Amino acid sequence: MLKEFRLFAVKGSAADMGIGMVLGAAFSGLIDSLVSDILLPPVGLLLAKMNFSDLYIILGSEKYASLAAAKDAGAATINYGLFITSAIRFVLILFAVFIVVRQMNRWKKPDQDPLIAMTKKECPYCCTPIPTRAVICPNCSSRLIEEEIEPQKRKAASLKMRTNIK
């Protein structure tokens, strides 16, 4: 049982998941800093006269000077100003993630995608990328033969397949 757990932790998805969580936390910190330190200050400057955090509706007949005073008194309130602030922050975070991912995709070359590399191979006859599980090339219609066959035999088999000689 201890050996199984060690295999799971080291070779299984636990290590991948841990690395993903660490990278996610670092990415979250980066995006939060981008929004808080770069994107929100100009928005705050534009909306300096409007303080959304003090927008609320009291569910009762009493009046309070601020949201903090209403909360201290224990009054029930609908804090729609805080919701507007959260919505603006969400849109800015979404925009920041879009900008970062877009730039990362620009830096990455098209042939660097590891998923494509794992699911594609090159046809030995026409040299075009094809799915790894393909038995017949969709581009040149050659029957794909196992790698153990020498290139001469493979070429002969391709010629035989194309001319339908049996």
Using an 8 Å Cβ cutoff, are 4 and 70 in contact?
no
Going by pLDDT thresholds of 50, 70 and 90, the confidence category of residue 104 is confident
Q: Domains of the chain (ranges plus CATH)?
A: 23-108 (1.10.1200), 125-163 (no CATH)
Contact 67, 54 (CB under 8 A): yes
**Structure confidence at residue 164 (pLDDT):** 52
| CA–CA distance, 76 with 60 (Å, rounded to integer) | 7
Q: How many CB atoms lie within 10 A of CB 58?
A: 15
Whether residue 16 is predicted with pLDDT greater than 80 in this model: the reply is no
pLDDT in tens, 23-81: 888 888 888 888 878 887 787 788 776 767 778 888 888 888 888 888 898 888 898 88
pLDDT score of 152: 47
* The predicted structure's pLDDT at residue 148: 36
Q: How many other CB atoms sit within 10 Å of the CB of residue 67?
A: 19
d(CA 155, CA 166): 15
Q: What is the pLDDT of residue 38?
A: 84
Average pLDDT score, the chain: 76
The type of residue at 17 is M
Computed from CA positions of residues 77, 82, 84, 87, in that sequence, does the dihedral angle turn out positive or negative? negative
Q: What confidence tens digit (pLDDT) does each residue in 139-162 have? A: 888 888 765 344 545 555 555 555
Closest CA to 95 of 24, 55, 38: 38
Say what the pLDDT of residue 149 is: 40
Q: What mean pLDDT is predicted for residues 119-143?
A: 84
Tell me if residue 130 falls in helix, strand or coil. strand
The answer to whether 75 and 62 have CB atoms below 8 angstroms apart is yes
Least confident of 55-64, 65-74, 85-94, 108-117: 108-117
Q: Give the pLDDT score at 110.
A: 62
Ranked by mean pLDDT, the top range of 15-19, 25-29, 118-122, 146-150 is 25-29
